[in-house]
Amino acid sequence: MRHGEVHNPDGLLYGRLPGYHLSELGRKMAERVAEHLAPRDITQVIASPLERAQETATPIAKAHGLDLGTDARLIEADNVFQGKTFGVGDGALRNPDNWKHLVNPFRPSWGEPYVDQVVRMMGALNAAKDAARGHEAVLVSHQLPIWIVRSYVERRRLWHDPRKRQCTLASLTSFTYLGDKIVSVGYSEPAIDLVPAHLRAGAKPQKGAEVQGKAFGA
């Protein structure tokens, strides 16, 4: 699961920075997904250590009477632009100081290698599979690591256009195992009616400093 909407009035790419919590809308998203998952046979709820993921996972764990676990492998991807604005119309791509970080979109040169994200996310998935064998587990993570591990499982290239990720706020990307092998991948959006239109999958980026979602709610 991807976390819910974050309170980010300055439009920063917050990455792994502490102190970024769910907005009121984000909390509603988390509650909605908890209600959606209430009938499921969930025996493990595990989240990234970042506040937004922990807060998203909490109502799910509570609904199932479970303690919330933490797995650092679910954390957001590292990014050199963390703590800065980096969106449409803010001049980031015209700043020469940033160019050295943009030379290789295949690795990528601006952050944690895609391959490293696959390794840690697959490790987290397999650990949860073992802990919940015969049942279900919910892992709460972040858009880029979720999309990268899904791309790996579905045998797509890892480099991609971020605007085309299918991983909306509070969405569920589901991996079904048969024994120790992933046999299917699913995707659903239980809280889509709560997601602002400009933050939905496939939405066109918006210009202007007043667009709070320009850091993509990562």
- pLDDT, tens digit, for every residue of 105-158? 656 656 889 999 999 999 999 999 999 999 999 999 999 999 999 999 999 998
User: For the chain, what are the domain ranges?
Assistant: 24-199
How far apart are the C-alpha atoms of 123 and 158, rounded to whole Å?
17
Mean pLDDT of 61-72: 99
At residue 11, the pLDDT reads 84
Residues paired with residue 42 on neighbouring β-strands, in sequence order = 136
pLDDT for residue 7 is more than 70: yes
At residue 208, the pLDDT reads 41
| 96-106 pLDDT per residue, tens | 665 555 555 65
Q: Which CATH number fits domain 24-199: 1.10.3720.10, 3.40.50.1240, 3.30.750.24, 3.30.70.330?
A: 3.40.50.1240
At residue 194, the pLDDT reads 97
Cα 145–chain centre separation: 6
Residue 164 or 171, more confident: 171
Q: What pTM, to 2 d.p., does this model score?
A: 0.85
What band does 217 get if pLDDT is binned at 50, 70 and 90? Answer: very low
Cβ(212)–Cβ(11) below 8 Å: yes
At residue 104, the pLDDT reads 57
At residue 170, the pLDDT reads 98
At residue 52, the pLDDT reads 98
Written as six digits, the tokens of 10 are: 């300055």
Mean pLDDT of 61-76: 99
Cα 126–chain centre separation: 18
How far apart are the C-alpha atoms of 11 and 185, rounded to whole Å?
32
At residue 156, the pLDDT reads 95
pLDDT for residue 86 is more than 80: no
How far apart are the C-alpha atoms of 41 and 34, rounded to whole Å?
13
Residue 43 or 87, more confident: 43
What band does 187 get if pLDDT is binned at 50, 70 and 90? Answer: very high
pLDDT for residue 62 is more than 90: yes
pLDDT for residue 211 is more than 90: no
